[in-house]
Chains A and B, each alone.
Chain A
Amino acid sequence: MEKRVTFKGIWLPLLLVLPQLVITAVFFFYPAGQAVYQSLFIPDPFGLSMQWVGLGNFEYLLGNAYYRASFVTTAIFSIAVTVVSMGVALYLAVLADRLIKGSGVYRTLLIWPYAVAPAVAGVLWLFMFNTRVGVITWYLGVLGYDWNHVLNGEEAMGLVVVASAWGRISYNFLFFLAGLQAIPRSVIEAAAIDGARFWTRFRTIVWPLLSPTTFFLLVVNIVYAFFETFGVIHTITGGGPQQATTILVYKVFSDGFVSQDLGSSAAQSVILLVIVGALTILQFKYIERRVHY
């Protein structure tokens, strides 16, 4: 028999969830509603006048080749950041999990980059890869490679991906390590006695049992790549060269706060809202099915 606590009336439970409802309404529904409302107008920056344009802002955006290209850029960027940060973190976690001595030191050291703010991380990487005075650029030059991310779009993309993924590896590492340590030793030992090698054990036991963690990290990392990498891009490339690193969120910023085009900026926020909503639904509908809890 399942034990259940039930409330007699409706008022007490309502009162208990009220704070959450109020917070959601004030900080999420109200701004989102404002964004939808504003996306239908072209306002002047000072709020002196507003012109109703209906879906004109969306038409303007979707008719713009650079905006459409920004979807592809965002997809490439998000996938790359997620794969790099999760892949490296998993590798490090598996290694740290096998350590018997000194794993505490490794863990502590590996967590440090997470404490570095994205904008600061951006500046650090920018210093190392500065096209004229960067240390790594200099070594690459010695090896005969001319690094110039201010002109080369692929190098710029690589640099912002690495800088964005770097701080994130720590976070993912923590979760993967905790996930690995939660896997019962006895199962793994039994498999080892049956003659399963490391790789077979990893594929058939560890990976499936780790899937809830992996799924959680996948969702969180994609949201991170979409929304929180702004600081890195702003400091390293400013969206360039030739918009090679202008992801959707960065364009919302530059249209809204550099150009004061609030109508276009609001319309882009609405599009982003739809995309992220759709992505999350997709992830829960299709990927979560393959997750073993």
Chain B
Amino acid sequence: MMIRNTIVVSGLAAMVSAAPAFAQTEVEFWHAFTGRLGELVAKQVETFNESQSDYVVKATHKGNYSETLNAGIAAFRAGEQPDILMVFEVGTATMMAAKGAIKPVYEVMADAGADFNPDDFIGSVKGYYTTNDGQMLSLPFNSSTPVLWVNRDALSAADIDPDVDLSTWENVGGVLDKLKASGNACPLVTAWQSWIHLENLSAYHNVPFATKANGFGGLDTELALNGPVQVKHIQTMGDWAKDGKFIYAGRRNESGANFRSGECALFTESSAGYAGIKDEATFDFDVRPLPYWSDVEGAPQNTIIGGASLWVMAGQSDEEYKGVATFLNFLSSPEIQAKWHQDTGYLPITQAAADLTREQGFYEKNPGTDVAVTQMTTNAPTENSKGLRLGSFDQIRGIIDEELEAVWAGDKDAQTALDSAKKRGDELLRRFEQANR
């Protein structure tokens, strides 16, 4: 009798709380953005809250990417998780493996009866966050891809035509020779070396970075980054480093300061570097597609993304999930996406947003901003270029950084360093496999 009463009461309570007329449902959203990006996110949320009266999204900044993920994990363990958590792309495998902690986006959309068509999204953007059978697990939020930034004045100063063809690494090598010969102290720098020169290099040349379709096929994946294409590229970069043609400045985007100050001629960096470079550079610059090796069959394929996506956490009420679905749909609507893409330099996540941006004449006014979009969308992604899904990936990147530094310092040749990176990274992958069995 007691039990039945409780059920009746809780049933009533559920009905009361489900009635929208009484109160707005609150949707909690934890993100990792500060500064200009933080303001833009706040603006999106504000626009959403004003656009309807059923739901209120509360956005909270929880620190950088790693800190936000850790906050989300700690909150889940305490039963206090937010509805939406922003997770950077290398945390994807961690989130995916936590089956009881998340609610896949396709499920959220289906349960809420929301109008949601995964085909609207750009394949190479959503691919990173979908299962092998095309189910979207998290909603891509901010995505960028590496491109080549060129200081045209530095090329002119070295008597090189600033419109010189830089589409292949062979051509880049020739230009670096000339820059060096003319006394340029910083011909080439890079940001995010593992992301650009191994992860994207592999995808762009359609060779695997890891077995089992880059980890999409199962937790028993192993690194495959010591193949001939990768070794050739890293060895070439190592030789350039030895000759002073490639200057190494750090693991993250420390080198951006050198490029923006005009010191360096060529710079491989995320397309999202646009805002900073446009702001600070006092020289003539342009954006080129990431170079490729012309002797590799199938190159250029497409590059992969970096950035973050939005994960929906498990254990919330149906009403909140409806709010989540509405908010995610709002974020992916063409107008909001196009504005986000133009304000930040991040890629649009839907084809409609890209088309709208083109119609608005943004690419004509800001030449080069479409290079990244073209580079991502020209070819349909393959198994090797869909993305990466590796556990402990943040730390594996640390290992790769160490091994690459050994090559730049001349302590190891590329083959030895990449073999060692594979061996050390595989140990972490086995730990991850064991933890998530």
Contacts and interface: CB of A to CB of B under 8 A. Distances in A.
A73 interface: no
Interface in A235-293: 238-243, 254-255, 257-261, 263-264
Interface string A141-160: 00000000011100000000
A254 B396 CA distance: 11
B435 A259 contact: no
Interface string A122-164: 0000000011110000000000000000111000000000000
Given A48-B101, A254-B395, 15 more contacts: A42-B434, A44-B97, A45-B94, A46-B77, A48-B99, A51-B435, A132-B255, A239-B398, A240-B405, A241-B406, A242-B403, A258-B395, A260-B70, A260-B94, A261-B435
B336 interface: no
Contacts of B431: 42, 60, 261, 264
Contacts of B255: 132
Contacts of B249: 131-132, 150
B105 to A, nearest CB: 18
A186 interface: no
Nearest to A133: B257
Nearest to B395: A259
Interface string A63-91: 01010000000000000000000000000
B402 to A, nearest CB: 5
Contacts of A243: 402
B437 A51 contact: yes
A118 interface: no
Nearest to A262: B435
A242 B434 contact: no
Interface string A207-241: 00000000000000000000000000000001111
Contacts of A64: 427
Nearest to B67: A257
Interface string A165-183: 0000000000000000000
Interface string B67-108: 000100100110000000000000000100111110000000
A47 interface: yes
14 contacts: A42-B431, A43-B435, A44-B436, A45-B435, A46-B73, A46-B77, A46-B101, A51-B435, A132-B249, A240-B401, A241-B406, A243-B402, A258-B394, A258-B395
A242 B394 CA distance: 16
A36 to B, nearest CB: 19
A258 B405 contact: no
A258 B432 CA distance: 13
A239 B401 CA distance: 11
A258 B66 contact: yes
B405 A241 contact: yes
Interface in B394-437: 394-395, 398, 401-403, 405-406, 408-409, 411, 424, 427-428, 431-432, 434-437
Q: Which 8 A-B pairs have the closest CB atoms?
A: A259-B395, A151-B409, A46-B101, A241-B405, A259-B392, A47-B77, A46-B98, A242-B402
A113 to B, nearest CB: 25
Nearest to B417: A242
Contacts of B406: 241-242
Contacts of B411: 242
Interface of B: 66, 70, 73, 76-77, 94, 97-101, 247-251, 254-255, 257-258, 261, 263, 392, 394-395, 398, 401-403, 405-406, 408-409, 411, 424, 427-428, 431-432, 434-437
Interface residues of A, number: 34
Contacts of B76: 46-47
Nearest to A238: B251
B245 to A, nearest CB: 16
A241 B402 contact: yes
Contacts of A150: 248-251, 405
Nearest to B409: A151
A220 B428 CA distance: 35
A238 B399 CA distance: 12
A151 B408 contact: yes
A151 B398 CA distance: 14
A144 B133 CA distance: 59
Contact of A241 (B66, B409, B428): B409
B313 to A, nearest CB: 10
Interface string A33-44: 000000000111
Contacts of A240: 251, 398, 401-402, 405
A45 B94 CA distance: 8
Contacts of B408: 151
A132 B263 contact: yes
Contacts of B432: 261
A47 to B, nearest CB: 5
A257 B392 CA distance: 10
A242 B405 contact: yes
Contacts of B405: 150-151, 240-242
B201 to A, nearest CB: 21
B251 to A, nearest CB: 7
Contacts of A259: 392, 394-395, 428
A263 B76 CA distance: 18
A255 B376 CA distance: 33
B68 to A, nearest CB: 12
Contacts of A257: 66, 70
Query: Which of A46, A130, A261 has its CB near the most chain B CB atoms (within 10 A)?
Result: A46
A60 B428 CA distance: 11
A45 B73 contact: yes
A157 to B, nearest CB: 14
Contacts of B257: 132-133
